[in-house]
Structure 1
Amino acid sequence: MLDTPVEPLLGLNDPDPVQIVNPGGRSDLLLIGDHAGKVVPAALGSLGIGSGDLDRHIGWDIGIAGLGEALAAMLDAVFIRQTYSRLVIDCNRDPDRADAIPAVSDGTPIPANEGLTDADRAARRAAIHAPYQAAIAAELARRDAGGRRTQLVSLHSFTPVMAGVARPWQVGVLHDRGELSLTHRTLARLRAEPALTVGDNEPYRMDGIDHTVPRHAYPDRPYVELEVRQDLLADAAGVAAWARRLATVLGE
């Protein structure tokens, strides 16, 4: 319990924390983007970092906003995406974890995230993390109430090099527990393309650090978490090509 009231973080000119693309989409796939945005609330200034750092992979998942929007149109699916940078608060982390608001990200200090009080953290959770998770839960509840079977597709992207190590995969399929039918089908279809190097729980494993998919899909909702390498989503042509590929894979 906090001893003092939590002051609102977002001002009148700050955008909503959640964007819902194609809200009337009829597909049984629900697309989500935990790290699709890189906005910083006005009250937090620049977080103490340069705009170039915010544009890097530490600030957001490069290319995912455009990929999700294109897939929503191709599949007639709903896409729920986060507006704010993962450096403000990471919506794919339990908000009680220290790394949900990192003081350092991939070696870059984030001065505005140092020495935060409980009230500071609670303000970010209330303004950004909670509304995003609530929007996903509400869409799933609405569909469940109508007897509509939903499959969850979490969209992410990864940097081609991390800690000096090149990553050879063009795309990764992440999973852990739960209902894995969609995961297995997606992995098999991507691996059927001979030109692709597909990671099975690469470059990351889904584990206890992940928050959104376990929260909304476990134990019995079909899901898949996709990671596309960021250099392949660096321009509109790359985004369009991957949207076509994934629309075919997921639409089957």
Structure 2
Amino acid sequence: MKDDARTSHDAFWTEGEDRPSRWLITCDHATNRVPGWINGGDLGIAPSDMARHIAYDVGAAGVARHLGVHLNTPVAGSDFSRLVIDPNRGEDDPTLLMRLYDGTVIPANRDADRDEKARRLARLYRPYHDTLARISAARPDRAICAIHSFTPQLRGRPPRPWQVAVLYSPTDERLAPLLIERCRQQGWETGDNEPYSGHLAGDSMDRHALAQGRPHVLIEIRNDLIADEAGQAEWAERLSVVMDGLLDAAGL
């Protein structure tokens, strides 16, 4: 595989698996794609809803790919909407398969039974996590950086002021506080485990980083800042600056 080679599957894509950096960049909510074998590729909600944050993390995949180039590191992302099944939830999490999200009913999920959930787990969720596990285990000093985005405001909620946020578990603070400090030194309004907590039992970081003792950070970017290619490239370059030498500075 060439350094910038891309692989793809119904459940995931990867880029640059042979890149030499110890980082792995992940993007759990990279796309709003609905596979054709699920209700004909249509969840029954309006295209405008499929284009917003309830279906995927707007702009996150582009940031992840650009950041992977800057850091010369592998990148892996999901290739299915989180409304199909959410790869950033544990298999027993009640929000794994959402029937209502931010005021929008998901018709194709309303009657999804245990067998349908099992089918989506087998064909999408597990192959994606198997890929993260494989790339993570490819070197013993692997560190993981998860890229997500958040909406400026949920319906009926106050606006969110942060440009970026760093989420983490209080059980592992080896990297996050240092990264927050570096972000704030850049003059960015930076959330410290805001707008939500960075630890959810069974989520991707719990599964591939915390459980394995791997250094990790989860970075959220406000999605209006990365809605287009230019914004994605700009913020990837900015993040590469604060991540450069981060592991060494933390003694990891």
State TM-score, norm by structure 2.
0.89
Secondary structure of 2:95's counterpart equals: helix
Rounded to whole Å, the distance in 1 between the matches of 2:118 and 2:10 is 17
Q: Give the Cα–Cα distance (whole angstroms) in 2 for the partners of residues 221 and 184 of structure 1.
A: 16
CA distance in 1 between partners of 2:160 and 2:59 (Å): 17
Specify the SS of the correspondent of 1:242. Answer: helix
Q: Quote the offset at 1:241 in angstroms.
A: 1.1
The answer to whether the aligner puts 1:247 opposite 2:243 as a matched pair is no
SS in 2 for 1:161: coil
Distance across 2 between alignment mates of 1:199 and 1:208: 17
Deviation by residue 1:185-221 (Cα, 9 ceiling, x = unmatched): 2111001122x11000011112335610011111521
**C-alpha contact (below 8 Å) 2:91/2:202 kept by paired residues:** no
Q: Which runs of 5+ in 2 are unaligned?
A: 1-7, 246-252
Question: What's the TM-score once normalised by structure 1's chain length?
Answer: 0.89
User: Which structure 2 residues correspond to residues 1-252 of structure 1 after superposition, within 5 A?
Assistant: 16-44=10-38, 45=40, 46-144=42-140, 149-164=141-156, 165-194=158-187, 196-208=188-200, 211-219=203-211, 220-252=213-245
AA aligned to 1:221 is R
Deviating above 4 A after TM superposition, structure 1's stretches of 4 or more consecutive aligned residues are none
Partner residue of 1:10? none
CA contact (8 A) 2:166 2:191 kept: yes
Measured in 1, the distance between the counterparts of 2:197 and 2:27 equals 18
Greater displacement, 65-74 / 213-222: 213-222
Note the alpha carbon deviations across 1:19-75, whole angstroms, 9 max, x for none.
011111111111000001111011223111122111110010000111111011111
Instruction: Give the conservation status (yes or no) of the 8 Å contact 1:67–1:239.
Output: yes
CA distance in 2 between counterparts of 1:48 and 1:15 reads 24
How far apart are 1:95 and its partner, in Å?
2.3
For the Cα contact (< 8 Å) 1:180–1:223, is it kept in 2? no
Q: In structure 1, what residue type is equivalent to 2:210?
A: Y
Matched position secondary structure for 2:18: coil
Cα distance in 1 for partners of 2:75, 2:62 equals 11
Shift of residue 247, structure 1, vs aligned partner:
0.7
Larger mean CA deviation between 166-175 and 114-123 belongs to: 114-123
- Report the alpha carbon displacement of residue 179 of structure 1 after superposing the two structures with TM: 3.4
- Percent identity, aligned pairs only, is 38
Cα-Cα RMSD: 1.5
CA contact (8 A) 1:40 1:85 kept: yes
1:20 aligned counterpart, secondary structure: strand
Q: Which blocks of at least 5 consecutive residues in structure 1 are unaligned? A: 1-13
